[in-house]
Chain A
Amino acid sequence: MTTASVIAPAERAALTAGAGRHGKLYWALADAWVLCWRNIVQLPRMPELLVFSIIQPVMFVLLFRFVFGNAIQVPGGNYVNFLMAGIFVQTVAFGSVGTGIGLAEDLHKGIIDRFRSLPMARSAVLVGRTMSDIIRNGISVAAMLIVGLLVGFRPDNTWWAYLAAAGLLMLFSFAFSWISAVIGLSVKTVEAAQSGGFIWLFPLTFCSTAFVPLDQLPSWMQGFAEYQPVSVTVTAVRGLTMDYPVGNSAWLSLAWSIGILAVFVPFAVRRYRRAAAR
């Protein structure tokens, strides 16, 4: 062991001189960015997460494209063009479960004590996590797009429309991450965050227009399926990437996402305060 005098408090003033130079908002964003960076750096080191966010949706693409797809009649006749919007939305919905799992891990594996003993913004743990999960979901969607193109998906619209579709998807992903955050912060174990995070997504994604046109769903389900957030987002993304009618679905999706954020952001913040205070 060396005896370099590396711990002289005289250095301290120089090290922390920058802290006073910026306002609260600057540091709230900077701290969130540090944690976002940390979550992104972790990603390639968690192979099980990669399986979740890439391989599972790829299986769905292949399964629906080559197995179930032949049995489903869609307007326009080309199932893969109908399918991909559903896959994109399902991918980000399932991907949002990672938000809750990540927060549960932070809370139950001790690192939260480190964060709470540092002079960082309280909001950074939540904001950093939801930010990095947008990026993670973006990577998954890009991977799905490539797989889709390989199995015959041919988007057909303007770049503006694609951009709008990407924007809606990202907002939807962000909104669902906050729902997942509330679940992850409310449960006692990481495993519970995992199962609790998925369970409600199955009815939501399968009782929707993600894989089957509305009129082929059981009639009692149609009322729910038509207006729920997954369906309206799928319809909007489908219309913005292909020649399908968008109608008011883009506005409905926007309204759902904003509405979810308005409810679940404050809810998650309260949960976080309670969970971290122990």
Chain B
Amino acid sequence: MTTKPAVLAEGLHKSYGKTHALRGLDLTVQAGTVLGVLGPNGAGKTTAVRILATLLTPDSGHAEVAGFDVVRQANKVRAAIGLAGQYAAVDEYLTGFENIEMVGRLYHVPRAACRRRADELLERFDLVEAGGRPVKTYSGGMRRRLDLAASLVVSPPVLFLDEPTTGLDPRSRLSMWEIISELVREGTTLLLTTQYLEEADQLADRIAVIDEGLVIAEGTADELKSKVGGDHLEIVVRKGGDLAAAARALRPHLCAEPDIVPELRRVGGPVPGGAALLPEVVRALDAAGVPLEDLSVRRPSLDDVFLALTGKKTSTDDVEKEAA
């Protein structure tokens, strides 16, 4: 049985003057699943979300959300979606409660039901105390949570979240993940953009990697990882140790040139054998006089996938630093 996808984009093009933000983007999200859209700054993630949420019209191409055309049946699409954009779209002078109530009423929900929903959502998003204060007194993370709460007033069947956890502290990020997972369990179809591979890995059923306005890889996290091949060896050299010497010692054991990250004193690369070759590696490093702080063999992360596909680093390292 094939059901119609909840989100379908075919050959979307969008230019801003000379900048080609989208150059023939194709995306599909099956109903009830999560698609993680992954891409570096300027890849076109926000542009794609804005087109699907009817905020922008594509220059060419075609998109359907919940079975409706985003250009010709925009209002039908709007009744079926929730959007939390990259920048919180909340009213500064209204309170959190009033913001949710207003959005509910604009979804044409009766006033009493809006107020009940506002109470529920404020509680769910840990904003009960702040709910009576004007939003201009909120922190950035509180605004984002309110923005997401507002987009859930009617429990829309299709949800677009543009970098929902950017700017959240680790604790808020975790609780945001929890809420998102719950929404998905309840049957919501979700398209989520992120720069954090870890996030896509956690939340998404399928991942589309986009760069410069095109999908450059698509599949489950495992499928993408297997594209990069086998296991990954990584060592961290103790302060003062010689990175170049470490790379020389590792080279014969890797299937590619070692990848050196001087700021993190890290050297690594793909290995053919897995954990079995650890003793050999340790002996080689020892012989080269490289003092070790850490050594590990792991399955490739999406970082490695991303690096392999785009030749660009991701921002996961920043997350690790933030979380530390």
A residues contacting B by CB (< 8 A) are: 1-9, 11-12, 14-16, 18-19, 27, 30-31, 34, 38, 41-42, 45-46, 109-120, 124, 277-278
Contacts and interface: CB of A to CB of B under 8 A. Distances in A.
Contacts of B110: 18
Nearest to B125: A1
Interface string B163-201: 000000000000100110011001110000000000000
16 contacts: A1-B178, A2-B124, A3-B182, A14-B113, A15-B117, A16-B109, A41-B98, A42-B91, A45-B93, A110-B87, A111-B90, A113-B55, A117-B83, A118-B107, A119-B108, A278-B56
Contacts of A18: 108-110
A109 B136 CA distance: 12
B150 A114 contact: yes
A116 B91 contact: no
Contacts of B109: 15-16, 18
B92 interface: yes
A170 to B, nearest CB: 25
B108 A27 contact: yes
Given A9-B186, A42-B94, A278-B56, A19 B156 contact: no
Prevailing SS type, chain A contact patch: helix
Interface in B250-295: none
Given A8-B155, A8-B186, A16-B108, A111 B89 contact: yes
Given A9-B188, A16-B107, A118-B106, A113 B155 contact: no
B154 interface: yes
CB-CB nearest 5 A-B residue pairs: A114-B89, A19-B108, A119-B79, A6-B120, A42-B93
A34 B100 CA distance: 12
B74 to A, nearest CB: 9
Contact of B54 (A1, A46, A117): A117
A42 B135 CA distance: 11
Contacts of A15: 104, 107, 109, 113, 117, 153-155
A12 B188 CA distance: 12
B309 interface: no
Contacts, number: 126
B141 interface: no
B81 interface: yes
Contacts of A3: 182
Contacts of B89: 110-114, 117
Nearest to A14: B113
B75 interface: yes
Contacts of B87: 110
B53 interface: yes
A1 B155 contact: no
Task: Give the residue among A15, A19, A34 with the most B Cβ atoms within 10 A.
Answer: A15
Interface of B: 53-57, 75-76, 78-79, 81, 83, 85, 87-94, 98, 102-110, 113, 117, 120-121, 123-126, 134, 150, 152-157, 175, 178-179, 182-183, 186-188
Given A34-B102, A119-B78, A7 B152 contact: yes
Given A15-B109, A16-B109, A34-B106, A119 B75 contact: yes
A3 B156 CA distance: 19
A223 B52 CA distance: 56
A277 B55 CA distance: 7
Contacts of B57: 277
Nearest to A112: B89
A9 B152 CA distance: 10
Nearest to A43: B93
Contacts of B92: 109
Contacts of B150: 114
A27 to B, nearest CB: 6
A221 B147 CA distance: 54
A117 B55 contact: yes
Nearest to A33: B105
A163 B192 CA distance: 57
A7 B155 contact: yes
A166 B219 CA distance: 67
Given A15-B117, A34-B102, A119-B107, 19 more contacts: A1-B125, A2-B124, A5-B186, A7-B155, A8-B155, A9-B188, A14-B113, A15-B104, A15-B107, A16-B154, A18-B110, A27-B108, A30-B108, A38-B94, A113-B55, A113-B83, A114-B89, A117-B55, A118-B107
Contact of A1 (B76, B102, B124): B124
A113 B85 CA distance: 8
A8 B156 CA distance: 10
Task: Give the residue among A8, A113, A119, A278 with the most B Cβ atoms within 10 A.
Answer: A119
Nearest to B57: A277
A157 to B, nearest CB: 39
Nearest to B157: A9
Contacts of B153: 15
A8 B105 CA distance: 19
